[in-house]
């Protein structure tokens, strides 16, 4: 009976092996084959164990010494040994195949896509990475109560009359715009070199915002080179998708935007804590610093106008920022950040100074583009007596005219900025503030031109009581200049304070809000809701509007108070709805009161009408 059971066991196990481990169909992948092989081995082991158990039970029922002579080997032993050997061979083959598969996985790149990472490709060793991210902001700006008073305008037109304030449309044009449409190509090379290239196509323009390489072999001293955000304004440093209102406040307009240069920066963790690397200007560590040398740009310089340098002297920019209570155990102060930034440079005859704008993006400070003033004009006529022989009379008239022309306003001399800044986030509450002081030397170039015109008239007598006159005029000019004149120190100031609160209870941070429950109306989830309020002011130095002419014939060489404001005060309230961490809707109302900046029919400077704007923004990031 034992022999028959052994035969059944061997034939059953062999059949199981033949059926279970027949060659895998070509359609199966290696991983699927390995899984199937593992399953069959486990099944085979279970069958063997069951067979041995049954065999032991049968042996126990047989008489002790009558089954077979002890000198004979059981028939099942060779079959069991052969089967065991085959199992060992299969297990070894499985181990070899798994090792090959693991090595293949180690050598292949990892591809990811998600709301946190965007699109990301990482090398097998993790030291090289390519990231593709971006965002789009679709805005709607709607001006309210935008009908100006009759006769008022911004500046004077060619006819010397007030230039209508947005003729036919009030104080501003209601419009839909693509405010930003930015692609961000970023990555890591050999673990310690990060890069960012960010073109933007918003507003119907193609502009390069960032092109930066950051070498970060040491956390305390990394080196960033290329086009990057200047380390000055805190709100400018904040990523555009995370700003609290649709438009940034006035302090950002008294600071550089992007600049080209080289910057040393580093970050330090609180003693006992290891700092983590973050890209340029994005540190959240206990202490960070940035010090750089840049070409130097004017206040509120457009990014496309900062790609070239127009003078040799460079600008030195720096910033120190700290989270002094980080890891202190004082929860209410963990999110407190304090810092100060500044810059110093000496531009030479820097022209095309940028305009400053209102929240509604209307120009509120424009610099003079040049003017010409007529001087004296004298004419001297000399008559030569009749010449009897020829019957001719010669009259020579010499006219001398002088004019004085002035160039556009220039930044020429010392320029520096001081920029204290802070924020405080505690749970759903946030508070943000900064102050900007921008000081620079202004000048204009003067050229005096003297023009001399000599006119010669020759009168000839051709018949009785009949004369003929021929004329010839010769003109020459001489210029004295250009030379810099009327140096003036301009000190501008701006500040803002903004508060926010997340109604749905999520943490409020400088890096934005991540909803606990993304918007899903089918499950009663509504994302994160945030309320915000802001007060911001801008003050322009009164010497900017100095009159170099007379009361009846004013000459404004730097800026005309009939078209530029001397002070602006803005307050705003806003609602931000984060549907999820990638979708955001914003609705703001902002109202601005101006001092100066308009002209009446008497050609006197008056206050520009109050600007009232309702903003909306739909934003997606990836």
The least confident of 81-95, 333-347, 414-428, 501-515 is 81-95
Q: How many residues does the chain have?
A: 622
Over 80: is that where the pLDDT of 22 sits? no
**Which residues, at least 6 apart from 117, have a Cβ–Cβ distance to it below 8 Å?**
131
Domain that holds residue 57: 2-108
Residue 560, classified by CB atoms within 10 Å of its CB into exposed (0-12), middle (13-18) or buried (19+), is: buried
pLDDT tier, 311 (very low <50, low <70, confident <90, very high otherwise) = confident
pLDDT recorded at residue 21:
43
pLDDT greater at residue 302 or residue 51: 302
1: pLDDT strictly greater than 80:
no
Q: Judge if 350 and 416 occupy the same domain.
A: yes
Provide the 10 A C-beta neighbour count for residue 340.
Answer: 15
Residues 230 and 341 in one domain: yes
Indicate whether 599 belongs to any domain: yes
Give the Å distances, CA to CA, from 155 to 181, 599, 600.
Answer: 34, 6, 9
In a domain, 400, yes or no: no
Q: How far apart are the first and last CA of the chain?
A: 73
Q: Which of 426, 427, 377, 381 is nearest to 403 (CA)?
A: 377
Percent of the chain at pLDDT > 90 equals: 61
Residue 250 sits in a domain whose CATH number is 2.40.160.10
Co-location of 546 and 588 in the same domain: yes
With cut-offs at 50, 70 and 90, classify the pLDDT of residue 20.
Answer: very low
pLDDT in tens, 89-145: 877 888 887 777 777 666 788 999 988 888 999 999 999 999 999 999 999 999 998
Residue after which a domain boundary falls, among 64, 79, 108: 108
On average, the pLDDT of the chain sits at 87
Task: Write the pLDDT tens digit of every residue in 31-90.
Answer: 676 677 777 777 777 777 777 777 777 777 766 655 455 555 555 567 777 777 877 887
One domain, residues 40 and 129:
no
Does residue 461 belong to any structural domain of this protein? no
Q: Which of 49, 74, 108 is the last residue of a domain?
A: 108
When comparing pLDDT for 378 and 619, which is higher?
619
What are the tens digits of pLDDT across the range 155-173?
888 888 888 887 655 678 8
Cα 63 to Cα 59, 60, 66, 68, distances in angstroms: 8, 8, 6, 10
Query: Do 137 and 13 fall within a single domain?
Result: no
User: Which among 72, 91, 108 is the end of a domain?
Assistant: 108
Cα separation, 297 vs 304, in Å, equals: 11
Q: What is the pLDDT of residue 477?
A: 83
Rounded mean pLDDT, 335-341: 98
pLDDT at residue 359 tops 90: yes
pLDDT at 466 over 90: no
Residues 521 and 555 in one domain: yes
In this structure, is residue 79 part of a structural domain? yes
Is pTM beyond 0.75? Reply is: yes
Predicted local distance difference test score (pLDDT) of residue 157: 87
Domain match, 101 and 128 both? no
Residue 464 maps to a domain = no
Least confident of 219-233, 243-257, 303-317, 459-473: 459-473
How high is the pLDDT of residue 257? 95
Close Cβ partners of 403 (under 8 Å, ≥ 6 residues apart): 372, 373, 374, 375, 448, 449, 451
Res. 25: pLDDT tops 50: no
pLDDT band at residue 405 under the 50/70/90 scheme: very high
2 pLDDT above the threshold of 50: no
Query: Bigger pLDDT: 74 or 283?
Result: 283
Q: Tell me what the mean pLDDT of segment 564-568 comes to.
A: 97
Answer yes or no: is 226 within a domain: yes
Q: What is the pLDDT of residue 455?
A: 85
* φ, ψ of residue 78 in degrees (nearest 5): -60, -40
Most confident residue range from 217-221, 351-355, 475-479, 492-496: 492-496
Weakest-pLDDT range from 50-59, 92-101, 308-317, 353-362: 50-59
The more confidently predicted of residues 487 and 146 is: 487
Q: What is the pLDDT of residue 594?
A: 97
Please tell me whether residues 87 and 127 are part of one structural domain: no
Name which residue leads in pLDDT, 276 or 471. 276
- Assess if residue 377 is contained within a domain: no
Examine the pLDDT at 530 and tell me if it is beyond 80. Answer: yes
Confidence (pLDDT) at 589? 98
Q: Is there a single domain that holds both residue 223 and residue 182?
A: yes
Domain count, the chain: 2
Residue 25 resides in a domain = yes
Compute CA distances 187 → 18, 105, 231, 455, whole Å: 52, 22, 22, 74
Same domain, 71 and 132: no
* C-beta neighbour count of 266 within 10 angstroms: 19
Whether 95 and 218 share a structural domain: no
- pLDDT band for position 23 (cuts 50, 70, 90): very low
Question: Do residues 67 and 147 both lie within one domain?
Answer: no
pLDDT at 97: 78
Q: What is the pLDDT of residues 535-557, one digit of tens each?
A: 999 999 999 999 999 988 999 99
**438-464 tens-digit pLDDT:** 999 999 999 999 888 888 878 776 555
pLDDT at residue number 433: 98
pLDDT one-digit tens code per residue, 193-245: 999 999 999 999 999 999 999 999 999 999 999 999 999 999 999 999 999 99
């Amino acid at each position: 009976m034992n022999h028959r059971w052994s035969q059944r066991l061997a034939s059953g196990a062999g059949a199981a092996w033949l059926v279970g481990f027949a060659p895998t169909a070509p359609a199966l992948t290696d991983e699927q084959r390995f899984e199937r092989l593992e399953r069959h081995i486990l099944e085979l082991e279970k069958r063997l164990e069951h067979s041995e158990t049954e065999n032991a039970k049968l042996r126990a029922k047989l008489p002790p010494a009558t089954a077979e002579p002890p000198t004979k080997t059981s028939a099942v032993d060779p079959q069991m040994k052969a089967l065991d050997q085959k199992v060992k061979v299969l297990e070894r083959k499985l181990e070899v195949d798994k090792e090959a598969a693991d090595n293949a996985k180690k050598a292949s790149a990892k591809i990811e896509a998600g709301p946190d990472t965007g699109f990301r490709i990482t090398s097998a060793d993790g030291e090289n990475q390519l990231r593709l991210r971006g965002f789009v902001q679709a805005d709607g700006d709607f001006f309210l109560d935008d009908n100006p008073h009759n006769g008022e305008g911004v500046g004077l037109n060619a006819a010397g009359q007030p230039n209508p304030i947005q003729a036919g449309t009030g104080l501003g044009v209601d419009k839909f715009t693509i405010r930003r449409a930015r692609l961000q190509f970023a990555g890591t090379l050999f673990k310690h070199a990060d890069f960012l290239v960010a073109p933007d196509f918003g507003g119907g323009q193609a502009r390069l915002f960032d092109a930066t390489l950051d070498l970060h072999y040491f956390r305390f001293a990394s080196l960033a080179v290329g086009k990057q955000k200047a380390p000055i304004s805190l709100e400018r440093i904040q990523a555009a998708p995370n700003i609290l209102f649709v438009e940034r406040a006035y302090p950002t307009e008294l600071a550089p935007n992007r600049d080209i240069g080289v910057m040393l920066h580093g970050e330090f963790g609180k003693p006992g804590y290891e700092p983590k690397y973050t890209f340029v200007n994005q540190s959240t560590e206990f202490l960070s610093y940035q010090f750089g040398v840049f070409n130097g740009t004017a206040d509120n310089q457009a990014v496309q106008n900062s790609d070239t340098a127009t003078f040799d002297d460079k600008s030195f920019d720096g910033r120190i920022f700290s989270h002094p209570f980080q890891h202190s155990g004082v929860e209410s102060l963990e999110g407190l950040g304090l810092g100060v930034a500044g810059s110093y440079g000496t531009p030479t005859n820097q022209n095309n100074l940028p305009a400053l704008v209102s929240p509604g993006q209307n120009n509120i400070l424009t610099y003079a583009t040049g003017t010409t003033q007529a001087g004296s004009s004298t004419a001297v006529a000399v008559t030569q007596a009749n010449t009897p022989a020829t019957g001719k009379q010669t009259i020579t008239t010499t006219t001398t005219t002088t004019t004085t022309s002035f160039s556009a306003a220039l930044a020429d001399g010392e320029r520096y900025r001081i920029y204290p800044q802070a924020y405080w986030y505690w749970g759903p509450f946030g508070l943000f503030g900064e102050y900007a002081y921008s000081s620079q030397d202004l000048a204009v170039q003067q050229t005096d031109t003297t023009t001399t015109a000599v006119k010669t008239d020759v009168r000839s007598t051709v018949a009785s009581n009949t004369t003929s006159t021929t004329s010839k005029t010769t003109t020459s000019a001489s210029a004295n200049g250009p030379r810099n004149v009327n140096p003036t120190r301009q000190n501008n100031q701006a500040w803002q304070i903004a508060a926010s609160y997340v109604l749905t209870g999520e943490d409020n941070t400088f890096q934005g809000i991540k909803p606990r429950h993304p918007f899903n109306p089918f499950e009663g989830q509504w994302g994160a809701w945030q309320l915000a309020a802001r007060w911001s002011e801008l003050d322009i130095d009164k010497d900017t509007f100095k009159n170099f002419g007379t009361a009846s014939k004013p000459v404004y060489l730097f800026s005309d108070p009939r078209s530029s404001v001397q002070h602006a005060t803005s307050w705003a309230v806003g609602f931000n709805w984060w549907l999820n961490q990638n979708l955001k809707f914003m609705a703001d109302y902002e109202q601005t009161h101006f001092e100066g900046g308009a002209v009446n029919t008497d050609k006197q400077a008056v206050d520009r009408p109050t600007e009232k704007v309702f903003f909306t923004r739909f934003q997606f990031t990836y």
